[in-house]
Amino acid sequence: MSTLRISRTHFPVTALGPGTRLGVWAQGCPLACRGCMSQDTWNPSGGTEVEVADLVALWTELDADGLTVSGGEPLQQPEALREFLLAVRETSPGKDVLLYTGYEESELDETQLAAAALADVLVTGRYDVTSPTSLIWRGSANQRMVLRTDLGRRRYEQFVDHEPEHPPMQTRSDADGVWLIGVPRRGALTALERRLRALGLRPEDVSWRP
Ligand code: SF4
């Protein structure tokens, strides 16, 4: 099997997709959306290169309800991603795959389409800071949730037009820092920084600024 360059994995993820999920954040994104909250994932040489077989082993061991792949831009590494998703589908029927991409489907080449075809649900399109949305699991109004399989339709149909009062968000921390999981509404990160400063905390190296 090949290797996939990732920013990190998270478990349990409960704020991006239904149920308790494994999150895999790919490393490397050339799209440079203004206002991206994950600029730490842009550098294609950053993060860690992991064996796809190790990711499959992690997925199997955790027995999550579903898999969320985001980034970074997962479809910058379409061959390794395809291998990973193929193994996930083969080992875990009934568990859904939610794949985020900054590309529109019409922009994908054959290899990228082959990887994307293994997701039950795609969220597509650049993050557009000028186009806010309250739709769950989407960062801007132009982003589309595409239900590709019966499982995807069964599990996500109720969420396509769902606008929660507050977007689901999680925080996790480890030796490297504090991680936000979810899609915050516009202005939420600035407000968070303001609140932290009011508490006497000085966040540095935040991922939503260069
Ligand atoms: S929002 Fe997504 S597609 Fe856009 S720059 Fe950030 S990681 Fe890349």
Domain ranges of the chain: 3-198
- CA-nearest residue for atom 7, ligand 1, is 72
The answer to whether the beta carbons of residues 117 and 89 sit under 8 Å apart is: no
How confident is the model over 31-35, as a mean pLDDT?
96
pLDDT of residue 203 exceeding 70: yes
Q: Which amino acid is at 191?
A: A
Q: What is the mean pLDDT of the chain?
A: 94
**What's the gap in Å between 39 CA and the centre of ligand 1?**
8
Least confident range of 56-65, 90-99, 184-193: 184-193
How confident is the model over 199-210, as a mean pLDDT?
78
**What's the gap in Å between 83 CA and the centre of ligand 1?**
23
Question: What's the pLDDT score for residue 186?
Answer: 86
Question: What's the pLDDT score for residue 194?
Answer: 87
How confident is the model over 158-173, as a mean pLDDT?
94
How confident is the model over 159-177, as a mean pLDDT?
92
Question: What's the pLDDT score for residue 47?
Answer: 96
Does ligand 1 lie within 6 Å of residue 38's CB atom? Answer: yes
What kind of fold does domain 3-198 have according to CATH? TIM Barrel (3.20.20)
Closest CA to 206 of 187, 191, 188, 193: 193
**What's the gap in Å between 202 CA and the centre of ligand 1?**
25
**What's the gap in Å between 200 CA and the centre of ligand 1?**
30
Does ligand 1 lie within 6 Å of residue 71's CB atom? Answer: yes
Does ligand 1 lie within 6 Å of residue 72's CB atom? Answer: yes
- CA-nearest residue for atom 2, ligand 1, is 102
Question: What's the pLDDT score for residue 179?
Answer: 87
Does ligand 1 lie within 6 Å of residue 32's CB atom? Answer: yes
CA–CA separation, 2 and 195 (whole Å)? 43
pLDDT of residue 210 exceeding 70: no
Phi, psi (degrees; rounded to nearest 5) at 196: -65, -40
Residue to probe by mutation, ligand 1, list 37, 41, 126, most atoms within 8 Å of CB: 126
pLDDT, tens digit (0-9, with 9 covering 90-100), for 88-147: 999 999 999 999 999 999 999 999 999 999 999 999 999 999 999 999 999 999 999 999
CA–CA separation, 119 and 89 (whole Å)? 9
CA–CA separation, 23 and 35 (whole Å)? 22
- CA-nearest residue for atom 4, ligand 1, is 33
Q: Which amino acid is at 190?
A: T
